[in-house]
Structure 1
Amino acid sequence: MSTQSSFARYPGLSGAAVVISGGASGIGEAIVRAYAGEGAKIGFVDLAEAEGEALAAELNAAGGSVTFRRCDITDADGYRAALREIEGVQGPTQVLVNNAANDTRHKWDEVTPAYFDSRIAVNLKHMFFAIQAVAPGMIAAGGGSIINFGSVGWMMASGGYPIYAASKAAVHGMTRSFARDLGRHGIRVNTLVPGWVMTSRQLELWVDDAANELIDKSQCLAGRVMPEDIARMALFLGSSDSRMCSAQNFIVDGGWV
């Protein structure tokens, strides 16, 4: 089994300006910690103010350069303002990690137009406007990396969250279109696709005995996909090691079949 010391390091990320949405807990927190471990300058947003402030304080006390802003990413104007504040502190964004999402279950026959719009806003719309906000700086700098978060859920035809599934499927199309539009400027755009990740939210709400049996049966690899496993792929995609990777899906799911 790998240990922390056996993981790859990315010296090129030291001092890089990174923005991460939904960074106060779960996968997002693991990504914030991973980039901090590489010496990056990190700005992250989240609705969870206490958790976000505590994480930033912890990492800054350890010598990091971390800026947190409480932000509702579904408010496009407010999110753009937060991004401007973060860039005012750490400079133009070099790596954008569009991680934030909400996979709350919903019944298709109970969805209202307002609820539909709210799910699109939290799972898709914010990614577009974050890219729109930071891409000019990347263009001026001659390159950058944008990492959009997808999901294996829609690939497996999972039920119980049709708007979430539609949003995550749409992320893949958005990634490929932006990859074409921005590639001429040296900007890479990829989709990072997690499998069933053992975050505290998943463990509290949905990972029961039946779920564990399904995971054991479905994954090629034994064990569980952890937030840190997703963070390692996020580091690779943000680093120059992925300089010729764009418009692709990078799946980290333990080989789910």
Structure 2
Amino acid sequence: MTDNFAPYPSLRDRVVLVTGGASGIGAEHVTQFTRQGAKVAFLDIADTEADALTQTLAAAHLPPPLYLRCDLKNIAALQSAIAEAANRLGPITVLVNNAANDQRHGYEDVTVEFWDERMATNLRHQFFAIQAVAPMMRGAGGGSIINFGSISWHASQGGMPAYTTAKAAVEGLTKGMARDLGPHGIRVNCIIPGWIMTQRQIDLWLTPEAETKLLAAQCLKTKLMPADVARMVLWLASDDSRMCSSQLWVVDGGRL
């Protein structure tokens, strides 16, 4: 799954920032951008997973990405980490707003504090990361911002109303920022992933019954893997998609 990616010459030496890049889908983004020859920084709070990823890439004789520990709920820390990444690698011209947490929760149990925390975890940092990198992209003559939404609210999935609300809002953020930043050559797109088989998803929710139901809903009868989403991310980051902006890109095996 990792050896048959298309090469994108325009990604070589491009400075890329991935949020939530230590594990799961984010780690796949970091890996594949590194394989493309990009200069990659990633933000996370999972130190053990980040160290393991860096060691894995080093063992494959790939240049190590820059890991910066950052709690994305702390906007001042996020802004500082983005500035540090740019200072060490150069102006960021690709931003992958990947980080999120799909913790399940019943609507009856939601407090004001929990609601605000879920917005901070799944939505707020995406805007402030965009705000921080936009001047760099303007200075570079353009850039690509890739936000991550979710299939969950499109599929009327219950059991996590704060998460689905935040992810629905990501699509509105994408459309509005694409309009505002387009005159500067900055493209803003949103990926809507289906159920991606990260280890967390497998451990917590992939029962035999859930898998049967999932494959029945998909046109393509194959489970989605992180690499399937990374392929779309690479294309949207590259010059091959230079005239694509303000769009929602669904990678779900034909479920919706």
TM-score range, shorter chain: over 0.9
Which structure 1 segments of 5+ residues have no match? none
Mapped to 2, the partners of 1:94 and 1:57 lie a distance apart of: 25
Matches within 5 A, 1:134-145: 134-145=133-144
Mapped to 2, the partners of 1:132 and 1:174 lie a distance apart of: 12
In angstroms, what is the RMSD of aligned CA positions? 1.1
CA contact under 8 A between 1:101 and 1:122: conserved in structure 2? yes
Residue 96 (structure 1) aligned with residue 95 (structure 2): yes
Q: Structure 1 residue 77: deviation in Å?
A: 0.3
Which structure 2 segments of 5+ residues have no match? none
Q: Structure 1 residue 132: deviation in Å?
A: 0.6
CA contact under 8 A between 1:40 and 1:65: conserved in structure 2? no
Mapped to 1, the partners of 2:167 and 2:116 lie a distance apart of: 14
CA contact under 8 A between 2:153 and 2:167: conserved in structure 1? yes
Matches within 5 A, 1:125-136: 125-136=124-135
Mapped to 1, the partners of 2:187 and 2:120 lie a distance apart of: 24
Mapped to 2, the partners of 1:237 and 1:178 lie a distance apart of: 16
Q: Structure 1 residue 6: deviation in Å?
A: 4.1
Mapped to 2, the partners of 1:226 and 1:206 lie a distance apart of: 15
Match of 1:109 in 2: 108
Match of 1:175 in 2: 174
Mapped to 2, the partners of 1:6 and 1:199 lie a distance apart of: 20
Q: Structure 1 residue 59: deviation in Å?
A: 2.4
Q: Structure 1 residue 212: deviation in Å?
A: 0.7
Secondary structure at the counterpart of residue 45 of structure 1: strand
Match of 2:12 in 1: 14
Task: Give the residue type in structure 2 aligned to 1:30.
Answer: E
TM-score w.r.t. length of structure 1 = 0.97
Q: Structure 1 residue 66: deviation in Å?
A: 1.1
**1:47 aligned to which of 20, 45, 52:** 45
Cα-to-partner distance string for 1:219-254 (whole Å, 9 max, x where unaligned): 000111000100110000000011000000001000
Match of 2:200 in 1: 201
TM-score w.r.t. length of structure 2 = 0.97
Cα-to-partner distance string for 1:108-150 (whole Å, 9 max, x where unaligned): 1111110000000010000000001110010111100000000
CA contact under 8 A between 2:175 and 2:247: conserved in structure 1? yes
Residue 239 (structure 1) aligned with residue 254 (structure 2): no
Identity %: 50
Cα-to-partner distance string for 1:33-90 (whole Å, 9 max, x where unaligned): 0101101000001110121123224324523141001110010001111111111110
Residue 148 (structure 1) aligned with residue 147 (structure 2): yes
Q: Structure 1 residue 216: deviation in Å?
A: 1.6
Mapped to 2, the partners of 1:126 and 1:180 lie a distance apart of: 19
Match of 2:35 in 1: 37
Mapped to 1, the partners of 2:224 and 2:3 lie a distance apart of: 19
Equivalences, count: 255
Mapped to 1, the partners of 2:3 and 2:79 lie a distance apart of: 37
CA contact under 8 A between 1:151 and 1:195: conserved in structure 2? yes
Task: Give the residue type in structure 1 aligned to 2:118.
Answer: R
Task: Give the residue type in structure 1 aligned to 2:143.
Answer: G
